[in-house]
Amino acid sequence: MLVSSSWRKLRINIISYHFMASLFHPTSTAICFFYPSKPTFQPHNFSLLTNTNTNRFNINSLTKCNAFLDNVVDVDHFPSIIQSGILQFQELPDMQRWEFLLFGGLIWIYLTSRPGVLIGAIDAYLLAPLQLGFDNLSGKRNLKTRDFLVGDKIGEGSFGVVYSGVLVPKNVLDGEANNKGRTKAALLDPKAKDKVILKKVKVEIRGAQEFGEFEEWFNYRLSRAAPETCAEFLGSFVADKTNSKFTKGGKWLVWKFEGDLTLADYMKGRSFPSNLESVMFGRVLEGVDSFRRNALIIKQIMRQIITSLKKIHDTGIVHRDIKPANLVVTKRGQIKLIDFGAATDLRIGKNYVPDRTLLDPDYCPPELYVLPEETPSPPPAPIAAFFSPILWQLNSPDLFDMYSAGIVLMQMAIPTLRSPAALKNFNLELKNCGYDLKKWREYTRLRPDFQILDSESGRGWDLATKLISERGPLRRGRLSAASALRHPYFLLGGDQAAAVLSKLSLSRK
C-alpha cells in the first residue's frame, strides 16, 4: 500500500512538472493530450524547472506520463472533425495559437454577456421548438372555449378584461356545466381545483389584438427563460361562439391561478402593509413591533420585485409597465410580474418601435423611451441579436424599469403617496425639482411620512434616491437590478436576524 501511494504521488508530480514545463516553454510539445499519438519529449524543456543535479526523472518516466495522460484524454475518442481541428491547431505557429485563443475568448465573452446572444440562440432555435412540440403533444396549444368556465370579472385594463375561471374536467361536457347550475357552481367554487385566470383581449380597441399577441409571445418566452418571475402560462384560445362573455373570433389568454389580488389591491387597504404579513411570511411575526414588521414586509416585497426584474433583464426583456397593478401576490406570498403587453425584447427588437412610447405617466421615468428616440429600427432578428450586447452597453435599457420600481417603493413606504391624485402631485413636484429626490424632500408640501425609509440609518431612503433619478448623458445614473440587490438596504442591518429570531415564536393569524 505504501509503495502504491508513493508511486501515485510520483506520477502526479511528473504530470505537474510536465504541464508546468509546457507553460514556461511555449515551443514544447508537452501538452500530450493534444496529440493522437504520444509526443516526443525534449529534455531541455524539463530542465527549466529542475537542474541537472536534482533531476531524477528520465525519458522513460516521461513516456509513462504521456501514456497516462493519453489514457485520461484520448483524442481518438473525439469525432473526426474535432480531431482534425486539434491537429490543425497544433500545426499553427505559437503566435497564431495565442491570437486564436484570445479571439475565441473575446467572442465567447461577447456572446455570453447581457443580454446573452448565445443563450438567446439556444432558446430560439432549440428550446422554443421543443416547447412547441411538447405543448402540442400535451394539448396546451389546442385549448378550446369549452375547456373553461368563466367566473367573475376581477380587473380591466386598456386592452383586456381579466376574469377568474376554472378548467373544466375532461369528463364534464360544456353543455352539462351550463345546463346544470349545481355542476357549474361546484366547478366555480373558490376552493375548486384547476382554477385559472383568463384575460379576454378587447376586439373593439385598436391595437389590442397586437398587444395580446405580444403578451402571449412574452409569456411563452419567460416560461422558458425565467418561469419563476411570472404566473404559469397555460396557453390561449380563440372563442368559437358569441354569448355574454365570449365574442366569436376573440382571443383569450389563460394562466394557472396563483392569486387574484395584486399589490395595488392590497395597497388600497388602510392596514397595508400589515394586511400582507400572513401572506408574505405565512404567519404573524411575534416579538417584533408593528413598525418593524411593516418595514420587513415592504423590504421583502421590494426584494422580490427587483429579483424578478434582474432575471427578465438578463434575458433581454424590459417590462416597461412596472406598477402595483401589474404585480400579483400569490397564495404563497410570491410577487410575480403580469401584463407583458408593453414589454420589449431588445435582444431581437420584439415589440420595439423607436419613436413609440408605451407608458403609465405615473410610473414612467423622465427619459420616456426605453432607448433614445434616435435609435434605428431593429434589423432582422439574428442581426439584432448579434449586436444587442453593444446596444445594452451603450444605453442600459433595463434602468427604465428600475425607476418604476423606485416609485413603487415610495408608495409602499409613504402612505400619502398611494392615492392616484397624490401620486400625480408627487410626479409634478419631482419634475419641478429636476427629478432630484433629495431636493423634492425639502420642497414638497405633501407632508410625507419618511419613518420607514429613514429607519436603519436611512438605507431605504438612500435606495429610493438611487432608483428615482434622471439619467446622465451616458445613459447611466440609476442602479441596475443587480446593483440594487447589493445595496445595504437588503444586505445589512439586523432586520433579517430579527425576522429569523422572531420566527422562533410564531402564532397563526
DSSP for 29-68 reads ---GGGSSSPPP--HHHHTTTS-TTT----HHHHHHHHHH
Percent of the chain exceeding pLDDT 70 equals 74
For residue 272, the model assigns a pLDDT of 95
Q: Enter the C-alpha cell of residue 403.
A: 425607476
The answer to whether the beta carbons of residues 175 and 300 sit under 8 Å apart is no
Q: What does pTM read for this prediction?
A: 0.77
List Cα–Cα distances, 381 to 119, 311, 349, 397, 482, in angstroms: 14, 21, 7, 18, 27
pLDDT at residue 182 is higher than 90: no
pLDDT in tens, 259-270: 889 999 999 999
**Selection from 509, 365, 387, 374 nearest residue 437 by Cα:** 365
In angstroms, the CA 389 to CA 367 distance is: 21
pLDDT band at 63 (very low <50, low <70, confident <90, very high): low
Q: Is residue 309 within 8 Å of residue 322, measured between CB atoms?
A: yes
CA-CA distance, 270 to 268, in Å (whole number)?
Answer: 7
How many whole angstroms separate alpha carbon 266 and alpha carbon 260?
A: 11
- Helices and strands (DSSP H and E) totals, the chain: 21, 12
User: What would the mean pLDDT of 313-341 be, rounded to a whole number?
Assistant: 94
How far CA 236 is from CA of 135, 216, 501, in Å, comes to 12, 8, 46
Of 96-110, 339-353, 419-433, the least confident? 96-110
Q: How confident is the model at residue 78 (pLDDT cuts 50, 70, 90)?
A: low
Contact 330, 304 (CB under 8 A): no
- Report the candidate in 391, 308, 316 with the shortest Cα–Cα distance to residue 351: 316
Residue found by looking up cell 416597461 in the block: 320
Helix H or strand E segment including 458: helix 451-467
Report which DSSP code applies to 415. Answer: G
437/458 Cα distance (integer angstroms): 14
Query: Residue 36 pLDDT > 50, yes or no?
Result: no
Q: Is the pLDDT of residue 225 over 90?
A: yes
Specify the 3-state DSSP secondary structure of 265.
helix
What span, in angstroms and rounded, lies between the C-alpha atoms of 9 and 26?
Answer: 26
| pLDDT for position 114 | 84
User: Is residue 373 packed enough to be buried (19+ CB in 10 Å), middle (13-18) or exposed (0-12)?
Assistant: exposed
Nearest to 421 by CA among 431, 429, 409, 412: 429
Active site residues: 321
Q: What distances in angstroms separate CA 10 from CA 28, 61, 62, one per listed residue?
A: 22, 10, 11
CA distance 156 to 136: 30
- Kind and range of the H or E run holding 151: strand 148-156
Rounded CA-CA distance 169/171 in Å is 5
